[in-house]
Amino acid sequence: MPERLPDKDFRTDEGLMLAYKHGDAAAFDVLYGRWRHRLFRYIAHQCGQNGVNDELYQDIWLRVVNARQQYEPSARFSTWLFRIAHNRLVDHWRASNRTPVVDIDFPDDEDFDLAAALPAPDTERPERVAERKALAEQIVAAVELLPDVQRETFLLAEDGEMTLEEIATLMGVGRETVKSRLRYAFGKLRQELSKWR
Amino acid sequence: MAMKPTDQEIATLYREAGASGPSAEIDRNILAAARAAVEKQATPAPWWTRWRLPLQAAATVCLVAMLAVMVGRHEPTPPVIPPLAMNQAGPAADSRLAAPAPEVTESVERRANQAPARAKTEAKTAVPAAAPFSTAPAQRPASSERAFAAAPTANSVAAEAENAPPQAKAEARAAPSAKAAARLAADEAMSPKAWLDSIRTLIDQNRPEEARKRLEAFTKAYPDETIPEEIRTRLKAMPDGGNVKQP
Region B51-73 average pLDDT: 89
A interface test, pick of B1, B10, B231 with most A CB neighbours within 10 Å: B10
DSSP output for B88-128 = HS-TTS-GGGSPPPHHHHHHHHHHHHHHHHHHHHHHHHS-T
Q: Is residue B37 part of a domain?
A: no
Question: For A123-152, what is each residue's pLDDT tens digit?
Answer: 556 667 777 778 788 888 888 889 989 999
The count of domains in chain B is: 1
What was the ipTM of the complex prediction? 0.74
pLDDT at residue A86, as a whole number: 92
The residue range of the domain holding B193 is 178-243
* B37 Cβ under 8 Å from any chain A Cβ: yes
Distance from C-alpha of A11 to C-alpha of A13, rounded to nearest angstrom: 7
Cα of A186 to nearest chain B Cα, Å: 6
Please check whether residue B69 lies inside any domain of the structure.
Answer: no
What's the pLDDT at A165?
Answer: 92
pLDDT digits (tens, 9 = 90+) for A42-67: 998 888 767 788 899 999 999 999 99
Whether residues B26 and A20 touch (CB distance < 8 A) is answered with no
**Yes or no, beta carbons of A20 and B1 under 8 Å apart:** no
Query: What is the rounded average pLDDT of the residues B134-142?
Result: 41
Kindly state whether residue B191 falls inside one of the protein's structural domains. yes
Specify whether the CB–CB gap between A3 and A37 falls below 8 A.
yes
Closest Cα of chain A to B58: distance in Å? 29
Whether B195 maps to a domain, the answer reads yes
- The pLDDT value given to residue B174: 45
pTM score? 0.50
Q: Which class in CATH covers the domain with range A110-194?
A: mainly alpha
Asked if residue B54 is part of any domain, the answer here is no
Q: Do A136 and B17 touch (CB under 8 A)?
A: yes
> Which range, A86-100, B46-60, B192-206, has the best average confidence (pLDDT)?
B192-206
| Distance between start and end Cα atoms, chain A | 32
| Fold match between domain A13-95 and domain A110-194 | no
* Residue boundaries of the structural domains of chain A: 13-95, 110-194
Contact (Cβ atoms closer than 8 angstroms) between residue A13 and residue A76: yes
Sign of CA dihedral A162, A165, A168, A172: negative
B235 in a domain, yes or no? yes
Query: Counting beta carbons within 10 angstroms of the beta carbon of residue B132, is it exposed (0 to 12), middle (13 to 18) or buried (19 or more)?
Result: exposed
Shortest CA gap B168–chain A (Å): 36
- What whole-number distance in Å separates Cα of residue B231 and Cα of residue B203? 8
Architecture category of domain A13-95 in CATH: Orthogonal Bundle (1.10)
Give the Cβ contact number of residue B239 at 10 Å.
9
Nearest CA in chain B to A133: B17
